Structure 1
Amino acid sequence: MGKSKKKKSHLPLRMNILFFVIFLLFASLILQLGVVQILYGEDAQEEINRTENTTIHTPVPRGKMFDRFGRVIVDNEPLYSITYTPPKGVQPMDRLKLAEDLAEFISMGEEEELKKIVRERDLKEYFYLLNEEEVRERVSQEESEDLSGGEEYQLLLDRITEEEVESIPFEKYQVIAIKKELDQASALAPHIIKNDEITIEEYASVAEHLNQLPGINVTSDWNRKYPYEGTFRNYIGTITTAEQGIPRANQDYYLSLDYSRNDRVGKSGLEEKYESILRGSKEKIRYETDKKNNIVNTEVVREGSRGDDLVLSIDIELQQQVDEIVKKRLKEEIARQPYKNRFLEDAMVVMMDPNTGEVLAVSGMYYNRDRESGEPEVVDHSYKAIQAQHLPGSTVKGATVLMALQEDVMQPGESIYDRKLYVSDTVKGSYRNLGPVNDITALQKSSNVYMFLAGYRIGGETYVPRKPIDFKSGTYNKFLYNFNQFGLGVPTGIDMPSEATGVIGEKPIPGTQLDFLIGQYNSYTTMQLAQYVSTIANDGYRIRPHLVKEIREPSNEMEQLGSVKENVNTDVLNRIDMEEKYIDRVKLGFQYAFQRQGGTAYSTFKDVDYRPAGKTGTAQNFMFPKDSNGNTTKIETENLTMVGYAPHDKPEVAFSVVVPHVGKQIGSSINKDISKDILDAYFELKKERSEKGIEDVEENLNEEENEASDNNEE
């Protein structure tokens, strides 16, 4: 019994020791918590609350575009916007509450406009949010058992009656329209709720109450502005809308370059070609949010800056005049055409500096004929100057003569007799028998026979009437090679996203090879013809045509240019494999064609003082229209073309004109009329600017640099 009492007396002691130890541990923990709360409570709470960093990229305006004289042709106009970036975990009822709050400050439109925005489904979704439990009771468990979430939701909406939809007060349409926009926003990407016709009052009211509108922000955005309206728009190009965002086909590429999905990017023309320069650097802001997605800190990681500016080679004043000239002449010519032969609908022009490749103007007009109403309109299709390919006719004879001289099959000054040729079973000749011609007068008078006989000799053949031709192997490739040197049949290299390279005839026979030499077989673009004649004008250097002259840093001054970031220098693609003495003879032939009696363009240019040179062209072009019975008729039309430059002794402007499908045998001179009009316009503008002391951007820049150099020397 005594032993038992001894054991019992030890149990309370051990328990007391255990309780005491536990007490000490708890006391230590409480003490530590107290220290944390007193000394570090505020920091600890802040650390707990900070759960995530989010970086937002704010778009900046694109770079502007100026013409060669510093006139703004593409600008940005401010666009005030109200945007929504939904916090994570936001629920439909949260967005409805936000829409109701936001509706106190903005309007989404008048009654008629709201009726177009708010559809029946939007009204049903609004009713469902307010009456979810009631609507859910209308669908049994058996009905929804095998349905997906989306199918079940649609069934619930279908159970909402027309009377219930009509019971929604019209004043709620504003709320519904706003919520519809809120629902389209994706996490961490600002979605524009309203930017069209937003008033200053709305913008200011929302800005003042941002603390009451979670996720809502006010921003200053931009839209492209075109002071010269439609002029040169085909080449300026377009950009995507915020709704379109980056193209899906290239989405991975753009996202890798720090674009957001709803960023606007260039999708055609110069906007696309120079996207990396025009886009600018988006402002990067880091938002720190707590666990309730409330913003607790904001940090600007990178300041935004708008894109760099482009100074174009285009003279916008000349461009406008050229557009009007082409439009006027095209309308006049179509009015002269017999109705049954009315296939004429286009006219295209390129003007460029043959020494630098700078494109001064590029135009193309399309006569859109509504055959039912007979009400035509002329619209800008200037993109066809680099994409539409047409038979060039005799304009390419300069390349043919140079090839014949360089291949040593024709001698300078050698005379041949221009008469009808009997090639196998075909008669070939010039527009009339021209008699004796040499390399120069063949260009002056546009002899086909000279070109045909040159082709015979290059092909290793001698002309014998009615004898079948058997050119030596590689003759056609030699023709192509020599023409390619001038840019005929190959890319010009112009700084645009796409250009056509011409249509090359396949499986040519000797007869069509002869046609090639007079521009009656392969087709070329108006830009290719401009590059070709520029190559002759500048003594054999093929220069890449370009539309951008300089890249400049953005300026803070309105309509002012920033400092030069990059000059687009003259890019010589190749020097033609022709001796200079032969080039000089072709240039003399071109001069005679415009300035000497008997020349094909003499009657048009005989009275001008700017000393032009060039070559006219006419190409047969057959059309095969069908009548109401489906019968095909063969109708012959003509492509009227022209290339040239001026002055002949010191060329400063080169040009090409293409007018396809002109009615035959009506004595048209539209190619010559357009050519004279555009040269007149160029030299008249030059004279006016000289009298006013107006210089282009590059000349002004050079003058500034010279002045700075003089000051440094002093």
Structure 2
Amino acid sequence: MLKRLKKESNELRQKRTTQRRLNVLFIAIMTLMTLLVLRLGYLQIVKTEDYKEAVASNENIEINESVPRGRIYDRNGKLLVDNTAKKAITYSRGRMTTTEDMLDIARELAKLIDMPTDKLTEVDKQTYYIQTHRNVADKLMEKEAEQYQHNMISQEEYDSILYRKIASHVKLSQTELETAAIYREMSAGSQLTPQTIKNEHVSEKEYALVSQNLAKLPGVNTTMDWDRKYLYGDTLRTMFGDVSSKEEGLPKDNIDYYLARGYARNDRVGQSYLEYQYEDVLRGRKKTMHYMTDKSGQIISSEVVDPGSRGNDLVLSIDIDLQQKIEKMIDKHIATLRAQGAKNMDKVLVVVQDPNNGDILALAGRQISPEGKITDYHYGTFTSQYAVGSSVKGATLLTGYHENAISLNDKMVDEPLSFAGGMKKKSYFNQDGRVTINDKEALMHSSNVYMFKTALKIAGLNYSSGMALPDDITEAGRILRKGLNQFGLGVKTGIDLPNEVMGQRGHLTDNAGNYLDLAIGQYDTYSPLQLSQYISTIANDGYRIQPHIVKEIRQPSKTETLGPVKEVIDGKVLNRINNTPREIKQVQSGFDMVFNQIEGTGYNSFHDTVVKSAGKTGTAEVFQKGQPRVNATYIGYAPSSKPEMSFSIIYSNQPVPPPWLPGGDLGKDIINAYFSSKK
């Protein structure tokens, strides 16, 4: 009985153990099944799009061919920058292509073309030698190979030793050097993307020979590359900017930025000015291919998904005919002024624009060496700044009106000013006497004293002989600068070009003398483009408009005509100045007197322009290598009643007058040329 019970008990225990094991196994299987179902669900539902994209990226390949950039036209549809085609030989590496395959192709290609070898480095030569003389490399590295196999040295250390040892063995013939140069270019490309082997000086014979032997050269192709072509020579050449070569590729300091936007490392991109600023517009769209491969990765068929196209075109606001005329005028006036004594004048800068919409009609700059050699400095119109003198006095008056420091037609005595501590200030036109003038006459005569007294009133002070100037001029300086800023003086204009300067601001807090100089343009510095924006703001009745050099973006056309408009770039109103129409008219009237009254500082140059004009002149005291000089400035617009164009001119480092040099004659010639061409 006890035996039977014990036996049953053992059987029961074994059965229970077996059952538990089966339960554990069942739970494990069910858990694995559940995980598998969840994983499949995750892959099918959550990751579907990711895998579709991965498959598409393996099948739809963007071909890294050199795509022509968009063209650049002037405002009248005249082609300024185009692309010129040139023959090229390329290579596309397949997914299963081996190093030996590439070397064989390079050897065959070297028989058909003359490949420049000047860009081969010692490392390139050593790499080629190692690939073609494995037995020599292996023999040299027997000891290191064993060390590497036992993890005693790293791959980097192994390679370093190899290149050091192989250096003395590398002796390559001219044919081998050319083969190495070809192999170097072939190796630089990624899979299925064309890599340029040669695109400079490809002869008709080379192009034909390679084309005839393409069947023996898998991956090699003959195609067309491009270069930029400038139809007006050096005119505006610096403003158009540069495009990198295929050797330069992406700029190293911005490589991550471009790679994140789908560029290849050897893509050509805009490096400066217009080409850089409008890179996203001008860059072409690459061809996309759909590849089908077998299980081994070999391509069995392909088709073009997107043929790609050149980039969009830019239509500039520039009038190229006016631009060329102004450049010739500048050169003529440089010769005239140098002959009259301006031997140290080193820059002439001109901006012409439409004051009503911000269109830049011409940007011209010249640098002059001490020997008189002239070079382009167009970009200096917005990348350099200068003390501009009395040209800013219109903005000073308008700030005074707004701050209720002065009123229209207020009269003041122009007289030499004396302050405590011995500081003296005076006007150039009236250095010793006492003359009562109003605000418009102050502009006509370019009265410094009227502006000094206005600045004092902005600070809450009335002038008296021998008065002490305040120790802290911070608030008054802030107010005056803010007034100048609303015209664009001392702030960026917003032009659609890189590297624009804001100008330099000096220290005002505890120097009231500097504050007074600020009121006459003798302290802070401004760019020629800021001067242009300022005079345009007065010309158009008080609207500060953002200047722009691109007028339209057009879709590429397959013909020589312009394609459809993609985007129109209008002048954006940045602000309206804080003055009434009557106050603006008062300054406009004063500017009219500057050019058209016989006592006006601009009368000699501007009183007989083909249409009546108005504006302001300025002279700023500066130093050049310790010697006193002046910057001469001229700003204006025409017609004075309903302006269509405005201009600013800066001559830097002219001789201290007298005599006064006729720099304003350039402004007269610009006005006459503009309206004569319109007729």
Tell me the residue number matched to 1:451. Answer: 451
Within the candidate set 212, 218, 239, 2:216 is matched to 212
SS of 1:389's partner is: coil
Q: TM-score, normalized by length of structure 1?
A: 0.80
SS of 1:69's partner is: coil
Given that residues 330 and 346 in structure 1 are in contact (C-alpha distance below 8 angstroms), is that contact kept between their aligned partners in structure 2?
A: no
Matched residue type, 1:402: L
Given that residues 56 and 287 in structure 1 are in contact (C-alpha distance below 8 angstroms), is that contact kept between their aligned partners in structure 2?
A: no
Task: Render the CA deviation track for 1:270-324: whole Å, top value 9, x for unaligned.
Answer: 2222222212322111333446654311122223122211110000111112122
SS of 1:63's partner is: coil
Q: What is the rounded CA distance, in whole Å, between the counterparts of 2:193 and 2:129 in structure 1?
A: 28
Given that residues 551 and 567 in structure 1 are in contact (C-alpha distance below 8 angstroms), is that contact kept between their aligned partners in structure 2?
A: yes
Q: What is the rounded CA distance, in whole Å, between the counterparts of 1:480 and 1:122 in structure 2?
A: 60
Within the candidate set 190, 195, 201, 2:199 is matched to 195
- Higher mean alpha-carbon deviation, 141-150 vs 234-243, is at 141-150
Q: 1:149 to 1:210 in 2, by over 3 A?
A: farther
Tell me the residue number matched to 2:572. Answer: 571
Given that residues 610 and 671 in structure 2 are in contact (C-alpha distance below 8 angstroms), is that contact kept between their aligned partners in structure 1?
A: no
Q: What is the rounded CA distance, in whole Å, between the counterparts of 2:130 and 2:486 in structure 1?
A: 72
Q: What is the rounded CA distance, in whole Å, between the counterparts of 1:247 and 1:127 in structure 2?
A: 30
Tell me the residue number matched to 1:635. Answer: 627
SS of 2:617's partner is: strand
Tell me the residue number matched to 1:273. Answer: 277
1:530 and 2:546 correspond: no
Task: Render the CA deviation track for 1:432-456: whole Å, top value 9, x for unaligned.
Answer: 3272211111111111111111112
SS of 2:663's partner is: helix
Given that residues 74 and 319 in structure 2 are in contact (C-alpha distance below 8 angstroms), is that contact kept between their aligned partners in structure 1?
A: yes
Q: 1:395 to 1:52 in 2, by over 3 A?
A: closer
1:68 and 2:75 correspond: yes
- Higher mean alpha-carbon deviation, 614-623 vs 564-573, is at 564-573
Q: 1:292 to 1:608 in 2, by over 3 A?
A: same
Tell me the residue number matched to 1:311. Answer: 315
Show the 5 A alignment for 1:460-499. 460-470=460-470, 474-499=475-500
Deviation at 1:347, TM superposition (A): 1.1
Given that residues 477 and 508 in structure 2 are in contact (C-alpha distance below 8 angstroms), is that contact kept between their aligned partners in structure 1?
A: no
Tell me the residue number matched to 2:388. Answer: 392
Tell me the residue number matched to 1:153. Answer: 162
1:87 and 2:94 correspond: yes
Deviation at 1:79, TM superposition (A): 2.7
Tell me the residue number matched to 1:510. Answer: 512
Tell me the residue number matched to 1:542. Answer: 544
Within the candidate set 614, 637, 640, 1:645 is matched to 637
Matched residue type, 2:110: A
Given that residues 488 and 524 in structure 1 are in contact (C-alpha distance below 8 angstroms), is that contact kept between their aligned partners in structure 2?
A: yes
Deviation at 1:465, TM superposition (A): 0.8
Q: 1:528 to 1:153 in 2, by over 3 A?
A: same
Task: Give structure 1 regions of 4+ aligned residues with deviation exceeding 6 angstroms.
Answer: none
Deviation at 1:378, TM superposition (A): 1.3
Q: What is the rounded CA distance, in whole Å, between the counterparts of 1:401 and 1:349 in structure 2?
A: 25
Tell me the residue number matched to 2:649. Answer: 657
Q: 1:151 to 1:614 in 2, by over 3 A?
A: same
Task: Render the CA deviation track for 1:141-182: whole Å, top value 9, x for unaligned.
Answer: 379857733224224423427xxx3xx654554434323333
Q: What is the rounded CA distance, in whole Å, between the counterparts of 1:358 and 1:289 in structure 2?
A: 54
Show the 5 A alignment for 1:30-429. 53=59, 55-57=61-63, 58-88=65-95, 90-108=97-115, 116=118, 129-134=131-136, 136-137=138-139, 141=143, 145=147, 148-160=157-169, 165=171, 169-290=173-294, 294-337=298-341, 342=344, 344-369=345-370, 375-424=371-420, 425-429=422-426
Q: What is the rounded CA distance, in whole Å, between the counterparts of 2:372 and 2:623 in structure 1?
A: 24
Tell me the residue number matched to 1:7. Answer: none
Task: Render the CA deviation track for 1:441-481: whole Å, top value 9, x for unaligned.
Answer: 11111111111111121211111111112377621111011
Q: What is the rounded CA distance, in whole Å, between the counterparts of 1:262 and 1:135 in structure 2?
A: 31
Q: What is the rounded CA distance, in whole Å, between the counterparts of 1:127 and 1:500 in structure 2?
A: 52
Tell me the residue number matched to 2:429. Answer: 432
SS of 2:169's partner is: coil
Given that residues 329 and 666 in structure 2 are in contact (C-alpha distance below 8 angstroms), is that contact kept between their aligned partners in structure 1?
A: yes
Q: What is the rounded CA distance, in whole Å, between the counterparts of 2:129 and 2:287 in structure 1?
A: 40
Tell me the residue number matched to 1:679. Answer: 671
Matched residue type, 1:677: D
Q: 1:420 to 1:127 in 2, by over 3 A?
A: closer
Given that residues 186 and 197 in structure 2 are in contact (C-alpha distance below 8 angstroms), is that contact kept between their aligned partners in structure 1?
A: yes
Tell me the residue number matched to 1:669. Answer: 661
Q: 1:666 to 1:440 in 2, by over 3 A?
A: closer
- Higher mean alpha-carbon deviation, 649-658 vs 171-180, is at 171-180
Q: What is the rounded CA distance, in whole Å, between the counterparts of 1:636 and 1:469 in structure 2?
A: 27
Given that residues 474 and 508 in structure 2 are in contact (C-alpha distance below 8 angstroms), is that contact kept between their aligned partners in structure 1?
A: no
Given that residues 533 and 544 in structure 2 are in contact (C-alpha distance below 8 angstroms), is that contact kept between their aligned partners in structure 1?
A: yes
- Higher mean alpha-carbon deviation, 53-62 vs 518-527, is at 53-62
Q: 1:448 to 1:188 in 2, by over 3 A?
A: same
Given that residues 329 and 670 in structure 1 are in contact (C-alpha distance below 8 angstroms), is that contact kept between their aligned partners in structure 2?
A: no
Matched residue type, 2:449: V
Q: What is the rounded CA distance, in whole Å, between the counterparts of 1:414 and 1:534 in structure 2?
A: 25
Q: What is the rounded CA distance, in whole Å, between the counterparts of 1:582 and 1:142 in structure 2?
A: 87
Task: Render the CA deviation track for 1:497-545: whole Å, top value 9, x for unaligned.
Answer: 2311111122342221111111011111100000000000001111111
Q: What is the rounded CA distance, in whole Å, between the counterparts of 1:421 and 1:52 in structure 2?
A: 81
Q: Percent identity?
A: 39
SS of 1:474's partner is: helix
Q: 1:286 to 1:203 in 2, by over 3 A?
A: farther
Deviation at 1:620, TM superposition (A): 0.7
Q: What is the rounded CA distance, in whole Å, between the counterparts of 1:134 and 1:521 in structure 2?
A: 73
Tell me the residue number matched to 1:556. Answer: 558
Deviation at 1:82, TM superposition (A): 1.2
Given that residues 508 and 514 in structure 2 are in contact (C-alpha distance below 8 angstroms), is that contact kept between their aligned partners in structure 1?
A: no
Task: Render the CA deviation track for 1:541-588: whole Å, top value 9, x for unaligned.
Answer: 111111111111111112x11121221123111111101111111111
Matched residue type, 1:517: A
Deviation at 1:117, TM superposition (A): 5.2
Tell me the residue number matched to 1:44. Answer: none
SS of 1:285's partner is: strand
Q: 1:543 to 1:121 in 2, by over 3 A?
A: closer
Matched residue type, 1:673: D
Task: Render the CA deviation track for 1:631-669: whole Å, top value 9, x for unaligned.
Answer: xxx421111111100110111110001112212135242
Q: 1:139 to 1:317 in 2, by over 3 A?
A: same
Matched residue type, 1:65: I
Q: TM-score, normalized by length of structure 2?
A: 0.84
Task: Render the CA deviation track for 1:211-253: whole Å, top value 9, x for unaligned.
Answer: 3212222232222111112211232222222222223333333
Task: Render the CA deviation track for 1:616-643: whole Å, top value 9, x for unaligned.
Answer: 00011134x3xxxxxxxx4211111111
Q: What is the rounded CA distance, in whole Å, between the counterparts of 1:144 and 1:240 in structure 2?
A: 45
Q: 1:468 to 1:195 in 2, by over 3 A?
A: same
Given that residues 85 and 190 in structure 1 are in contact (C-alpha distance below 8 angstroms), is that contact kept between their aligned partners in structure 2?
A: yes
Matched residue type, 2:242: T
Q: 1:138 to 1:150 in 2, by over 3 A?
A: closer
Q: What is the rounded CA distance, in whole Å, between the counterparts of 1:275 and 1:670 in structure 2?
A: 42
Q: What is the rounded CA distance, in whole Å, between the counterparts of 2:369 and 2:193 in structure 1?
A: 43
Q: 1:197 to 1:527 in 2, by over 3 A?
A: same
Task: Render the CA deviation track for 1:19-70: whole Å, top value 9, x for unaligned.
Answer: xxxxxxxxxxxxxxxxxxxxxxxxxxxxxxxx96461334422111100110
- Higher mean alpha-carbon deviation, 414-423 vs 593-602, is at 414-423
The size of the alignment, in residue pairs, is 609
Matched residue type, 1:432: F
